Copies of this chain bind each other. A is one copy, B any other.
């Protein structure tokens, strides 16, 4: 193993000089700098991460707490994770994977052992047990999602309230009078997951504002559940003409079910989804949707976090604006003269 001392000897300088060349924390003459760089290359020197971390109290590692819980949609999580890792690398950091089942304990552990410099936490609940801990822990953090009380924390997320409102507005603009929010599995609501609650909130606000009739129902992620839920929905609301879906895995099954129940999309039923763009475009018909810009959020999260580590004061909350893209699944409300039996 080649150490900084080897490089120093090879370049004919002190180890501290090599260190300063590499960190740029003191000015070094161009000649020495070049000589050192040459030696680094010649010897293939790589700083030892532990030694560096020990001496500088900076590990250059971020922790990513990834949820593995019921009802969470995996591909989206992976998009977040990928964006986080990729961006972290761009800032010369690595990413340690923590599973949410280690919960608060895990956060405490990695901080107390100085394993990581900062932490990205996903899947935030309104009353998240990790929130008070993060406040107490003096470990720089960013939450992807908003707890109810975000005081003193840095959070970022899609503006789900607005996302739902956009959907309601879009449907109302098209003349729909009776619409429904087909939501996440009920476990997600019971856990008080922020994004699901905020979407519901936005849906209610939009429905009120536009004076349309709105109903909400959770939906489990199986084909049968979708069938049952939709049947129930149509039984309760025979004149339903618009659907807002926030539940990626059921999107395919939902379209099947509507087809099998004889409801054409968008002629009989307009469908809007809150989901990743590629999912929306992969459906027949292509779905009008508010996209979840996971990559952008993940990237921005890391950038905020790195900024924090560099002493910058980040904004307390960042809401990524929701954007609705109209595609083929939404259209004008049909005339209300059909007799429907589910």
Q: Residues of A with Cβ closer than 8 Å to B? A: 44, 46-51, 53-54, 59, 61, 64, 68, 74-75, 77-78, 81-82, 85-86, 89, 94-99, 101-102, 109-110, 112-115, 222-224, 252-253, 256, 282-284
Q: Report how far A283 CA is from B253 CA in the complex, Å.
A: 10
Nearest B residue to A88 by beta-carbon distance?
B97
- Flag if A96 contacts B252 (CB, 8 Å): no
Identify A85's interface contact among B59, B61, B89, B97, CB under 8 A. Answer: B97
Contacts of A284 in B (CB 8 A): 223-224
Pick the residue among B74, B81, B109, B114 that contacts A75 (CB under 8 A): B74
Smallest Cβ-Cβ distance to A113: which chain B residue: B49
User: By the criterion CB–CB under 8 Å, are A110 and B89 in contact?
Assistant: no
Copies, count: 2
Given A54-B50, A282-B223, A99-B114 contact (CB < 8 Å): no
CA distance A63 to B54 in the complex (A): 20
Known contacts A54-B51, A78-B77, A78-B78, A46 near B109 by CB under 8 Å: yes
Q: Return chain B residues, CB-CB under 8 Å to A101.
A: 86
Closest to A225 in B: B282
Query: What are 15 contact pairs spanning A and B, CB under 8 A?
Result: A48-B54, A49-B59, A49-B115, A50-B54, A50-B114, A75-B75, A77-B78, A82-B99, A89-B99, A94-B110, A95-B97, A96-B97, A223-B284, A224-B284, A252-B253
Contact between chains at A96 and B94 (CB < 8 Å): yes
In the complex, besides A49-B114, A81-B97, 17 extra interface pairs with C-beta distance below 8 angstroms are: A46-B112, A47-B113, A48-B114, A49-B50, A49-B53, A50-B50, A50-B51, A50-B114, A61-B96, A64-B97, A68-B82, A74-B75, A78-B78, A94-B97, A96-B96, A223-B283, A252-B253
If A74-B75, A75-B74, A110-B94 touch, whether A59 touches B68 (CB-CB below 8 Å) is no
Chain B residue nearest to A109 (CB atoms) is: B46
Chain B residue nearest to A115 (CB atoms) is B49
Residues of B within 8 A of A59 (CB): 49-50
Nearest 6 interchain pairs by C-beta = A50-B53, A46-B112, A50-B54, A49-B113, A49-B115, A74-B75
Which among A53, A74, A94, A253 has the greatest number of chain B C-beta atoms within 10 A?
A94
CA of A59 to CA of B82, assembled, Å: 24
By a CB distance below 8 angstroms, the chain B residues around A94 are: 96-98, 110, 115
